[in-house]
Structure 1
Amino acid sequence: MSRHDLLISGRQVTKEFGYGLKKTTAVDRVDFDFHEGEIISIVGESGSGKTTLAKILMGLLKETGGAVEYKGKPRQLKSHKERKAYWKDIQAIFQDPFSSFNLFHKVEKLLLDCIKLQGLKLSREEQFLKMKDACSFVNLKFEELYNKYPFELSGGQMQRLMIARIFMLHPKVLIADEPTSMVDACSRSTILDMLLKLRDENNMTIIFITHDVGLAYYVSDTLYIMQKGQFVERGPAESLILAPQHPYTRQLINDVPKIHSEWNLA
């Protein structure tokens, strides 16, 4: 993939929780550069700090130290108006789809909110067509879903509905935190294909947050390996998997039999 414009960058980004003797550092002075249209995976075991970093990137957590820039400028997230503008460009899919939706709002309301977030003034018919197109993109039928509540849908349907929202919003950045962990292998492949198709159509940057180095290798341009709040290794996916330099990266690769046997990595 050819490199495009730098979109999000961070320098010495740090996040601490607690005070005094109880203080823990979840993200420890990390640097990163994410480009337009790039697929990045931040890979690490549970507790490595990757989800905390995802929340910082989303603007849901404020960094304790360091700085994050968006489009070459410091992010402005103090006011509701600034946060809303930022979230038009940066969206997320989380591990548990049910925690991402208001369970008391029907599917139609969840999708209409996407139209409102964009500030679009559409007729009722235009709204219907936009929601129907989004559902069709993820192989769902809007007519069968619009009057249902999230808890009436399966986990796979919820994951697809989350991607339908992304289809409607056209964000510049999608942060996908373990987006396929709650679905079966067949659905996992379908969801990944949908996300990659969105990248190709919209030149969207996708940041995968995952413990699965196998998935990261197959979908990513660039890998960042995270351990104990720090990036211990980074680089193009293929060269990093073929020639890992850090012992932790080697350990992650050795835990994936398919990659291990395919590349005969020690």
Structure 2
Amino acid sequence: MENHEKLLAVKGITKEFHIGGVFTGATLTAVHEAHFDMEADKPEIFTLAGESGSGKSTLARLILHDLEPTQGSIVYEGHDVTTIKRRKELMQFMQKVQPIFQNPFEAFNPLKKVDRYLYATAMNFGVVKSRKNADEVVDNALKSVGLSLQEVRGRYPHELSGGQLQRIAVARALISQPRLLIADEPVSMVDASLRMSIVNLFKDLKDTHGVSVIYITHDLATAYYISDRIAIMLRGNIVEMGHVEQVLSEPLHPYTKLLKESVPEPTTKERWREKIQFSTFEVKEFARVGCKFTGRCPCVMDICHKEDPKDYVVDGRMVKCYLYAEK
């Protein structure tokens, strides 16, 4: 693929699901007209943050070509991946965009030695022609995450810790030399003592290897620590997006302010330790006419109940709220 100004451009992506019966069901808009892009020549960690059911994982699956969008386009290095049909094109895309899943124990078959996954990845993407030539490639990938082939060779998943397995999952993704990793809640199933080591690993991959990361989380503590930019999602909508310092230190959207109030003030010296409490997921919230936050917003106005607010640009960031319509 050729070099392009944008590594990734998400343009008006919408995903609708039909739930319930054929005649009595309803349409749930899991992602609604999402827009954002990432520069090709500037590796970054871009975070999608929000409560469970906000649409962030659905958006990740759309980017990975795991789901077909209802409308919109996802352009990677100048190619619209939503139009991919041939296996060869899909493999080329998968080589450059790799996922990191939430549960490392589910990523590996307990009856299979973990090094087999690493060798298979190297072979499947044509990185090497035979297993005999794969040792160096596999070892280099493992070393980039603080492990080695000697430590991993011949071992089954149950013989490794959750932190080690998550690092191996990252190493596996790196074998194809991707430009973009999509990490969906990658530390939520890892022991608390190991979370920062995984988070620091993503920062190192960006700084040392030039790999961009889409980091998906409900944890604002790690989001603040790891991110360059952040997008806050609510009921399928990106309601605020910008530099992480701006968005989390001086939020504009009432929903972002609510999230901020759930944790101590972010500082460079202290870590947040409190859990963020979110509301229970309700399908009716997605079907709400107008702004999806009207049920909890302290600044709600009449127009909020009638029409979905537009995306307004304030102080260099996007905010989806009528409070900023005049600005």
- Give TM-score scaled by structure 1 length: 0.89
Aligned to 1:6: 6
* 2:229 paired with 1:222: yes
Asked if the contact 2:113/2:155 (under 8 Å) is kept, the reply is yes
Asked if the contact 1:88/1:117 (under 8 Å) is kept, the reply is no
Q: Post-superposition shift, 1:16?
A: 0.9
Which residue of the other structure, out of 233, 236, 241, is the alignment partner of 1:234?
A: 241
Q: Secondary structure at the match of 2:134?
A: helix
Q: Secondary structure at the match of 1:78?
A: coil
Q: Post-superposition shift, 1:139?
A: 2.9
AA matched with 2:54: S
Greater RCO, 1 or 2 (C-alpha within 8 Å, sep 6+):
1
Aligned to 1:160: 167
d(CA) in 1 for partners of 2:69 and 2:110? 30
Encode CA deviations 1:168-192: one digit per residue, 9 max, x unaligned. 2221110011111122333111112
Q: Post-superposition shift, 1:43?
A: 0.6
Aligned to 1:64: 70
Q: Post-superposition shift, 1:134?
A: 2.5
Q: Secondary structure at the match of 1:193?
A: helix
Asked if the contact 2:162/2:191 (under 8 Å) is kept, the reply is no
Matches within 5 A, 1:110-189: 110-122=117-129, 124-189=131-196
Asked if the contact 1:35/1:205 (under 8 Å) is kept, the reply is no
Q: Secondary structure at the match of 1:196?
A: helix
Structure whose residues are more often helix by fraction: 1
d(CA) in 2 for partners of 1:124 and 1:68? 35
Aligned to 1:17: 17
AA matched with 1:27: V
Encode CA deviations 1:186-218: one digit per residue, 9 max, x unaligned. 311111222211112332110000111221122
Q: Secondary structure at the match of 1:23?
A: strand
d(CA) in 2 for partners of 1:121 and 1:259? 45
Which 5+ residue runs of structure 1 have no aligned equivalent? Answer: none
Asked if the contact 1:167/1:198 (under 8 Å) is kept, the reply is no
Q: Secondary structure at the match of 2:198?
A: helix
d(CA) in 2 for partners of 1:9 and 1:102? 34
Asked if the contact 1:234/1:240 (under 8 Å) is kept, the reply is yes
Encode CA deviations 1:50-81: one digit per residue, 9 max, x unaligned. 00001001111111111111123322421222
Q: Post-superposition shift, 1:258?
A: 4.6
d(CA) in 2 for partners of 1:221 and 1:139? 24
Asked if the contact 1:174/1:206 (under 8 Å) is kept, the reply is yes
- CA RMSD in angstroms comes to 2.3
Bigger Rg, which one = 2
Q: Post-superposition shift, 1:123?
A: 5.8
Aligned to 1:86: 93
More displaced stretch, 160-169 vs 174-183: 160-169
Asked if the contact 1:90/1:171 (under 8 Å) is kept, the reply is yes
Which 5+ residue runs of structure 2 have no aligned equivalent? Answer: 271-327
* 2:205 paired with 1:198: yes
* 2:103 paired with 1:99: no
d(CA) in 2 for partners of 1:44 and 1:74? 27
Asked if the contact 2:14/2:34 (under 8 Å) is kept, the reply is yes
Question: What percentage of aligned pairs have identical amino acids?
Answer: 39
Q: Secondary structure at the match of 1:100?
A: coil
AA matched with 1:38: E
Q: Post-superposition shift, 1:122?
A: 4.9
The aligned length equals 260
Asked if the contact 1:163/1:195 (under 8 Å) is kept, the reply is no
Q: Secondary structure at the match of 2:188?
A: coil
Q: Post-superposition shift, 1:102?
A: 3.7
Asked if the contact 1:50/1:229 (under 8 Å) is kept, the reply is yes
* 2:257 paired with 1:253: no
Asked if the contact 2:249/2:266 (under 8 Å) is kept, the reply is no
d(CA) in 2 for partners of 1:225 and 1:6? 21
